[in-house]
Each structure stands twice: as structure tokens, then as C-alpha cells.
């Protein structure tokens, strides 16, 4: 309690602070906490969690606030603003030690000068290390390296009892396997040691257009398993009121003076596709390629509109039918001017984080409906998310649970399936007061 008293001057209970903590990127849910604290050390996180546990108050750690449906909010509870806990402590040839509140852009800025990079980066680097490690973290290199959670060396975690524990595959493995992709239910990640791999200084970015969804998905599956490209990602583009067009984004990283053989790249693609001009970018610019789009959306105001996103993983055999069904009736207007549909392959053998659910087929497809609504008009999109979610489950899919989708206790039991009992036991062990990250709506009873 003495630590809590020392931090009193940094507890925010003013209306502006509470309102800010009740917002996120989704702009769909607004649950005000009783207080907000920005911890500056793991010890301060311990003090706050211990206090919340003793008071029976819900507590959520908030990074960049990129959740879409209040997952990082805590109604009448405590929100930990982790953004001051953002130090890069060490960069080695094969690892980086970094606080959980650091953004992935901070990580890349620290590692690229030494030609090193995390194996997997999400498309948008403005999220925090602790945020994506709590859910999984997928990107264009996941066909090679799995999720970001599959590339963690060790973690420092404050459990729901206030204990600070270092966990890894070699020590406290049970906590390590729970916290990675554990949706913040078992502890607050405060520091991470992450694997690094060699990086480059140039990227050749290829874009190929397809008219046939069958060919588009088959091409992605083949390329993901062959491993010829460093980055594999697809997106669906509307053509006014006509049919959809499919774009395959591929990238090869290289050093200046040693470019890839462009002819071999073209020979590797299906003859039906149409190539767009190749972009040659500095490697850092490619990794942070969403930054310019973010600034434009902030300028137009769309960044602050509701984002009722839905992300599902579908087994390859049913992915095509699901995508066609999901796209049926969608238009550029119904996805929003800045809306986007992403479809890309994930060899499931690369996904080894226990609580990051995956389909049973050898290849899964991430299907992400990234829609933008006008303020106050997100309700129909959230309702359609439920319908599309049920269609995905019927097709053997699973949620990547970062969605604008109300989830009942029964939904969560279905989500974790045979792992539900393990999940519930771990929750009772590491968060016995059931205070952590209430925004997901996970209930044990």
C-alpha cells in the first residue's frame, strides 16, 4: 500500500483521463474506469495489480489502444497505461530485450541499424509489444515464422496475484504458455526478450492482380509453403459495383548491390496474373509502410471513426467458399472508404502458441474484414460480424480474437474447445481474484 500512496500523484481520476481510457481504435465500446495509472517500472505494475486484487477491482493493461471492442478497458476499475514502460534495454545479434509498452516501430528502430529484425511484424507498427504478444501477432512473414508469440525467448510477467515472474520454455513454462496469446487473462507482460533474425537494407515489393479467387488462393498456398518470398499477403479490392479483384503482395528483401532476379520472380507466378510495377524501397520504409496511410486517415478523420473489424482463420479447403460468402453483398460503400479485406495463408505447423487457436488443416487463411463505419452507424456491421463469425465456425474456422464482436461465455468455451478446461484452471491459478482484462467478456461460470 505504501507504493500505491507514493504513486497517488500519478493516478488520473479526472474526466479527460477516464474518457480517454474508455476509447480505443474501434470506437464501439466506451467503459470508463475509476482510475488510470501510467506505471514506470515493473514494481509499480506489481503495486497496482496487488492493490486491484485486494480491492476486487478489475484491471486492464492498455498499450497503444488499438483494440476494436473495449478489450483493453475496465469498467469502474483500473487501467494501466503502459506507454511509459517503453525502454529498449538490450539489442544483441539474436535478441532484443524491451519493455512491453514499447511500440514495434521502436523495436525496429533499435534493431535495423545492426541489420537485425524480429522475424514477424504486423502490418501496422504502432501497436505495442505487450499488446500483440497477448493475442498472437500475425504478418506477411508468418508463413515462415508463425506468430510473434512463436518468436519469444522469455517474458517478465506480473500475475494476477501481483507476483513478478520471469518465464520461458526453460523455466515457468506453464505461465509462458498461458501468457502468450492469453488475452491478458493471466498476467501483465512488462518486459520481453524477442528473437531477432538478419535484416536487409532494400525491399523489392511486387503486386500481382488476379480475377479468379480460386487461382488467387491456390497461388498463395503454394508460395507460402515453397518459401521463395519473404512476405506473402493478399487483399481483396472492390471494382465499383462490379466483381472483386484480388491482389497478391509479395516481397523479397536484399542488400544493395545484390537484387533478386526479377525474371525468376515472374516465372514463379501463374500466367493469369497481371503484374504492377515493382517498388524498390528502403527496408525500414517497407516495414513501416502503413505509416503514411495512418497519417492520411488522421487527416481525413477516418482514423477516429468506428472500426468494427472481424478476423477469422479458415482451413484452406473451405476458405474459398467462406470468402465468397463473406464478400457477397459487400461493396466499397459497405466496407467504408478506408475499409479493407485481407486474405493470406498461414501454414499451421508454424503456429505453436497453445492458446492461439488454429484450424486443423495444414494451411489456414487469415480472412480479415477491416471495415470502417460512420460515427453511430457501426451497429449493422457488428451484427453482421456475428453472422459471418457463425459461418466461419461452420466452415471449420476459428476467431483471431481481436474482433468487434460481443462474445458470451459459451462463445469462449467454443473458441477454446478442448483447451477450455486448461484455460480455466490457469485462470484460477494465476488470477484467482478474476480481475485481469475484463473487456473480453471471458467468464469461468
pLDDT in tens, 38-81: 999 999 999 999 999 999 999 999 999 999 999 999 999 999 99
For 177-183, what is the mean pLDDT? 99
pLDDT tens, residue by residue, 330-352: 877 778 777 889 999 999 999 99
Check whether residue 93 and residue 72 sit in a common domain.
Answer: no
Specify if 418 maps to a domain.
Answer: no
The set of residues, in sequence order, having a beta carbon less than 8 Å from that of 211 and lying 6+ positions away, is 243, 245, 246, 272
Examine the pLDDT at 242 and tell me if it is beyond 90: no
pLDDT confidence of residue 436: 99
CA dist 186 and 152 (Å) reads: 17
Residue 24's domain comprises 2-83
pLDDT tens, residue by residue, 404-427: 999 999 999 999 999 999 999 999
* Intra-chain end-to-end CA distance of the chain, in Å: 31
Among 83, 112, 133, identify where a domain stops.
83
CA dist 233 and 236 (Å) reads: 11
Check whether residue 244 and residue 301 sit in a common domain.
Answer: yes
For 376-380, what is the mean pLDDT? 95
What is the domain count for the chain?
A: 3
The set of residues, in sequence order, having a beta carbon less than 8 Å from that of 90 and lying 6+ positions away, is 96, 97
Specify if 315 maps to a domain.
Answer: yes
The gap from C-alpha 189 to its chain's centroid, in whole angstroms, comes to 15
Check whether residue 52 and residue 71 sit in a common domain.
Answer: yes
Taking CA atoms, 245 is separated from 4, 99, 124, in Å, by 56, 41, 23
Check whether residue 320 and residue 279 sit in a common domain.
Answer: yes
Among 53, 83, 113, identify where a domain stops.
83
pTM for this one?
0.95
Check whether residue 221 and residue 365 sit in a common domain.
Answer: yes
pLDDT confidence of residue 241: 59
Check whether residue 171 and residue 206 sit in a common domain.
Answer: no
Check whether residue 55 and residue 24 sit in a common domain.
Answer: yes
Amino acid at each position: 500500500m505504501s507504493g500505491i500512496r507514493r504513486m497517488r500523484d500519478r493516478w488520473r481520476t479526472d474526466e479527460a483521463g477516464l474518457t480517454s481510457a474508455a476509447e480505443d481504435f474501434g470506437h464501439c465500446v466506451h467503459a470508463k474506469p475509476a482510475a488510470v495509472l501510467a506505471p514506470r517500472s515493473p514494481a509499480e505494475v506489481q503495486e497496482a495489480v496487488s492493490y486491484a486484487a485486494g480491492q476486487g477491482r478489475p484491471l486492464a493493461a492498455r498499450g497503444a489502444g488499438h483494440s476494436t471492442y473495449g478489450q483493453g478497458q475496465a469498467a469502474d476499475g483500473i487501467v494501466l497505461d503502459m506507454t511509459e514502460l517503453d525502454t529498449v534495454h538490450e539489442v544483441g545479434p539474436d535478441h532484443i530485450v524491451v519493455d512491453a509498452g514499447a511500440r514495434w516501430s521502436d523495436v525496429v528502430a533499435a534493431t535495423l541499424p545492426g541489420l537485425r529484425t524480429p522475424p514477424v511484424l504486423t502490418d501496422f507498427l504502432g501497436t505495442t509489444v505487450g499488446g500483440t504478444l497477448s493475442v498472437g501477432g500475425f504478418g506477411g512473414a508468418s508463413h515462415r515464422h508463425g506468430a510473434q508469440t512463436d518468436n519469444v525467448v522469455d517474458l517478465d510477467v506480473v500475475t494476477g496475484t501481483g507476483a513478478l515472474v520471469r518465464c520461458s520454455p526453460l523455466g515457468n513454462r506453464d505461465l509462458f504458455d498461458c501468457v502468450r496469446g492469453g488475452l491478458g487473462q493471466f498476467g501483465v507482460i512488462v518486459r520481453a526478450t524477442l528473437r531477432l533474425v538478419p535484416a536487409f537494407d532494400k525491399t523489392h515489393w511486387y503486386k500481382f492482380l488476379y480475377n479468379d479467387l480460386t487461382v488467387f488462393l491456390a497461388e498463395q498456398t503454394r508460395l507460402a509453403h515453397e518459401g521463395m518470398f519473404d512476405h506473402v499477403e493478399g487483399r481483396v479490392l472492390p471494382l465499383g459495383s462490379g466483381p472483386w479483384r484480388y491482389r497478391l503482395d509479395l516481397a523479397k528483401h536484399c542488400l544493395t548491390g545484390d537484387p533478386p532476379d526479377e525474371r525468376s520472380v515472374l516465372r514463379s507466378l501463374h500466367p493469369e496474373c497481371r503484374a504492377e510495377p515493382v517498388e524498390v524501397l528502403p527496408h525500414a520504409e517497407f516495414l513501416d509502410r502503413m505509416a503514411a496511410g495512418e497519417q492520411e486517415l488522421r487527416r481525413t478523420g477516418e482514423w477516429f471513426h468506428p472500426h468494427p473489424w472481424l478476423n477469422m482463420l479458415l482451413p484452406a479447403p473451405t476458405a474459398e467458399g467462406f470468402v465468397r460468402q463473406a464478400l457477397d453483398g459487400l461493396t466499397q460503400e459497405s466496407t467504408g472508404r478506408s475499409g479493407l479485406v485481407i486474405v493470406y495463408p498461414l501454414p499451421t505447423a508454424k503456429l505453436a502458441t497453445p492458446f492461439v487457436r488454429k484450424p486443423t488443416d495444414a494451411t489456414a487463411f487469415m480472412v480479415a474484414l477491416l471495415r470502417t463505419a460512420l460515427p453511430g452507424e457501426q451497429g449493422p456491421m457488428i451484427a453482421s460480424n456475428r453472422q459471418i463469425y457463425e459461418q466461419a465456425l461452420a466452415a471449420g474456422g476459428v476467431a483471431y480474437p481481436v474482433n468487434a464482436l460481443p462474445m458470451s461465455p459459451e462463445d469462449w468455451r467454443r473458441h477454446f474447445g478442448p483447451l477450455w478446461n486448461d484455460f480455466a484452471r490457469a485462470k484460477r491459478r494465476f488470477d484467482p481474484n478474476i480481475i485481469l482484462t475484463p473487456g473480453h467478456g471471458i467468464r469461468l461460470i
